[in-house]
Amino acid sequence: ATEALVIFTPSGKRGRFAPGTTVLAAARQLGVDLDSVCGGRGICSKCQITPGTGAFPKHGLTVAADALSGWNAVEERYRQKRGLIEGRRLGCQAHIQSDVVIDVPPESQLHRQVIRKSASDRVMVMDPATRSYFVEVAEPSMDEPTGDFQRLCTALSDQWQVTGLAPDLHILRKLQPALRKGDWKVTVAVNRGADGSVRLVDIWPGFREAPLCGLAIDLGSTTIAAHLCDLSDGRVLASSGVMNPQIRFGEDLMSRVSYAMMNPGGDVEMTRVVREAIDGLAAALAIEAGLTGADIVEAVVVCNPVMHHLLLGIDPVELGQAPFALASSSSLTLGAADLGLAALNPGARVYLLPLIAGHVGADAAAVALAEAPETSDDLVLIVDVGTNAEILLGDRRQVLACSSPTGPAFEGAQISAGQRAAPGAIERVEIDLVTKEPRFRVIGSDLWSTDAGFAEATAQTAITGICGSGIIEAVAEMRMAGIVDGSGLIGSAEQTGTDRCEPTGRTHAYLLHDASATGGPRISVTQGDIRAIQLAKSALYAGARLLMDEIGVDKVDRIVLAGAFGAHISPKHAMVLGMIPDAPLDRVSSAGNAAGTGARIALCSLAARAAIEATVQRIHKVETAIEPRFQEHFVAANAIPHATAPFPELAQ
C-alpha cells in the first residue's frame, strides 16, 4: 500500500507513513508534541487528537471519512467507561489508513503554552521537572533473579527512556506491594534535579489519574506566600500567605542573624518554626484545592540568603559579617523529608533557585526570571519591595543587582495600625486636597468609601488595620494634601486645617478611620509611622541610586515596581514618596509579586531553571552594606521626596 500523508496542526509538521501506523507513533517520529502518560495503552487519554474531515484546500488534500481506522476494543472501552469529547480519538489507538490532517488540542500537548497573567503576559511553556509515567514491569521468575527495582528501571528505560534512577529507600518500601497490587503495572512520578539527578518521587499501583501538584513558595522575612499549582498545565489551584513566624526572633534579617549568634540553638529554633509555617500553608492549600499533601510532589522556594540558610538548617552566622560567604550559592534540589517538611509527599523534591550573593538572594533571581531584564532593550530598574528590597538594574548588555535593608514597614510591620495584606486591611487611600478628608478601599470589598460612609457601604467588612500598599498611599496622599511637610513632619490641626490631625504627645497623628463609637478601632497614621516609611523608602532609593552610579546614569528608561504584599504598589504614590528615582509616570509599571511569579515559572519549567541559573552567573552584584555612597544617598533621600535630587516628572 502507498504511504499516507499526515499533517499535524497547529505545528504544521508532516510526513508519510505506512498504513497501520498509530497517530501517536507518527507524532513521535515527527517530533509533534503529543502527550502520553500510559505509553499508548489506552488508559491515560492524554493522547487525544481530532482528525479533520472533508477538503483542506490549503494543503491540497481531501480527508476521507475512514482516514483513521475504526474504534478498536481498547478505545471503545475507554469511550464507554470515561467518555470522549465528540470528534476526539485516542491517538495511541487510532491507526492511519489514508491522507489525513490531525489536530492536537492544547490539553494534549505535553509542552503546552500557558499565558501567564502578569504585567508582561509572556508565554510560558510547560516543561515541569516532575511528571508521571505508567509502566508495565516484567514479573520475577526463578530463572531471572533480579530485584523488582531493577526490573522497574529496565521497564522505565525501555518504555520511557528514563534512566539513571537511584534506589531511594522510601520507594523500595512501597515498591513490592504497589507492583503486585497493580498486577505489574504502576504509575511513577519522576523528578529531574538541577544537578542532573533523576529520582522516583512516588509509586502507585495501576494507572493514577489525579494530577501532580507543586508548590511555589516565596519565603520572605515578613510574609510567606505560596501557590499550589497543577503541574500539567500550570494552573494555580489555591494561593495563600502567612506571617513568617521568625519575626518574633527579629524583625529584619540582621536581627535574626544576631539572634542566632547570641543564642545557642537559636538558628535551630528559627529553622523549626519556618518549616512548620510552610507545612501549615501546604496542608491548608491542599485542603482548599480538595487534595491531600501526598498530591504535592514538588516545591520551589525563592528566598533571600538568610531565609535560605535557616530553611536548610544552616547557621547563618557567616552572612552577618563581610565577606558574607554563602554555604552554597548554586541551585539545589533536595528531598522535602530532608528539609523536615512533613505536609508534602514524603518523596517530594524541593528546588531552591540559585543565590546571587551574600545579600542578594534567590528572590532577586526569581524577580529576574519573572521580569527578564537581560532581554530588555531599554534600561529597566526593577524594585521588589519587601523587608529586604531586591533591586535589579540592567538591559541586554548588563544586569546589576543589590539588596537593600528597608525593614518591614512596607509590609505593614512597624506601623502602628499595620497588618498583613488580608481582608480588613486598608489598601488604597485618597485624601481630598481641599477638605483633607480621606477615602479608602479595604481588602475584601471593591468599594471606595469615605470614613463616615464606610459602615453602610460595606456592611460585612470590618476594618482591622492598614497594609503595606495602604500606608504607602496614605503617606504620599498626606504629603500631597499638605498634612505632612517635606521633612516628614505631620502638622497640627491649625497648620493643616483639619481636625483629623490630633496631638499625640509632642507630635501629631492623622486620623484615617474612626469606629470607636461602635467599639471598633481608631486607625491613625502617626509620626512614628511616617518615620518608619521614611527610613524604608530612603533605603530603597539609596539602593537604586547605587546601581545607577555603578552604571554611570542619572536616569533610567523604565521602572517596574513589584512586591509580595497587597494590591499593586501605585507608581504615582511611590514617586511622590521618593521611593524610586524620577521617571515619566507612564514608564513606571506595577508587577505584583514578581518573586512569586518567578517561583511559579521555575515550578513549571526545567528550561526556565536552566535559563535563570545561567543568567545569575552574569548578574553583577553590588554590596550595599560596605558601600559608603549608600549611606550618603540614604541620608539625602530621607526628605519627601528628596533633599537634593530634582523630581521634574512629579512637577508635571
Pick between residue 56 and residue 207 the one whose CB is nearest to ligand FES.
Answer: 207
CB of 78 to ligand FES, least distance (A): 7
Question: What is the closest distance, in whole angstroms, from the C-beta atom of residue 91 to ligand FES in the complex?
Answer: 6
Rank residues 88 and 558 by Cβ distance to ligand FES and give the closer one.
88
For ligand FES, the closer of residues 209 and 632 by Cβ is: 209
The residue behind cell 537511584 is 166
Answer yes or no: are the C-beta atoms of 35 and 105 closer than 8 Å.
Answer: no
Cβ distance to ligand FES smaller for residue 72 or 263:
72
Least distance in Å: CB of 39 to ligand FES? 6
Q: Closer to ligand FES at the Cβ: 39 or 234? A: 39
Our CB check for ligand FES shows the closer of 87 and 167 to be: 87
| Exposure on the CB side of residue 558, measured as CA atoms within 13 A | 13
> Which long-range contacts (C-beta less than 8 Å, at least 24 apart) are formed by 88-91?
88/48, 88/49, 88/50, 89/23, 89/48, 89/49, 89/50, 89/51, 90/42, 90/45, 90/47, 90/48, 91/22, 91/23, 91/24, 91/27, 91/34, 91/36, 91/47, 91/48, 91/49
Closer residue to ligand FES in complex, CB, 78/634:
78
91 versus 361: smaller Cβ distance to ligand FES: 91
Best CA proximity match to 540, nearest among 484, 507, 579: 579
Q: Between 75 and 582, name the residue whose CB sits nearer to ligand FES.
A: 75
Residues across the chain: 652
Cβ closest to ligand FES, residue 90 vs residue 96: 90
Of the CA atoms within 13 Å of residue 203, those in its CB half-sphere come to 30
Give me the least distance between CB of 69 and ligand FES, in Å please: 14
Closest-approach residue to ligand FES (CB): 92
For ligand FES, the closer of residues 72 and 176 by Cβ is 72
* 47 or 286: CB nearest ligand FES: 47
Give the distance between the most distant pair of CA atoms in the chain: 99
Closest approach, Cβ 93 to ligand FES, in A, equals: 7
Indicate the DSSP class of residue 53: -
Which of 577, 148, 145 lies closest to 383, judged by CA? 577
Q: Which of 415, 353, 401 is nearest to 373 (CA)?
A: 401
611-620 as b/e, with b when 16 or more CB fall inside 10 Å?
Answer: bbbebbeebb
**Least distance in Å: CB of 355 to ligand FES?**
41
Query: Least distance to ligand FES from the beta carbon of 213, Å?
Result: 20
For residue 245, say if its preceding peptide bond is cis, omega within 30 degrees of 0: no
**Cell digits for 350?**
524541593
Q: What is the 3 state secondary structure string of 257-277?
A: HHHHHHCCCHHHHHHHHHHHH
Alpha-carbon span 468 to 473, nearest angstrom: 9
CB of 112 to ligand FES, least distance (A): 16
Q: CB of residue 134 vs ligand FES: minimum separation in angstroms? A: 7
Residues interacting with ligand FES, by CB under 6 A?
A: 24, 36-38, 40-47, 90-92
Say if CB 107 and CB 50 are below 8 A apart.
no
Pairing of the two strands 507-514 and 522-525: antiparallel
| 260 in Cβ contact with 266 (< 8 Å) | yes
Cβ at position 74, least distance to ligand FES in Å: 8
Q: Name the DSSP class of 605.
A: B
Taking alpha carbons only, the member of 255, 351, 252 closest to residue 302 is 351
- Does residue 96 contact residue 26 with C-beta atoms inside 8 Å? yes
* CB of residue 77 to ligand FES, shortest distance in Å: 11
Least Å distance between CB 42 and ligand FES? Answer: 5
Q: Residue 212 is placed in which grid cell?
A: 501532580
User: Least Å distance between CB 31 and ligand FES?
Assistant: 17
Side chain identity, residue 566 = G
The SS3 call for residue 326 is coil
Q: Which is nearer to ligand FES, 88 or 600 (CB)?
A: 88
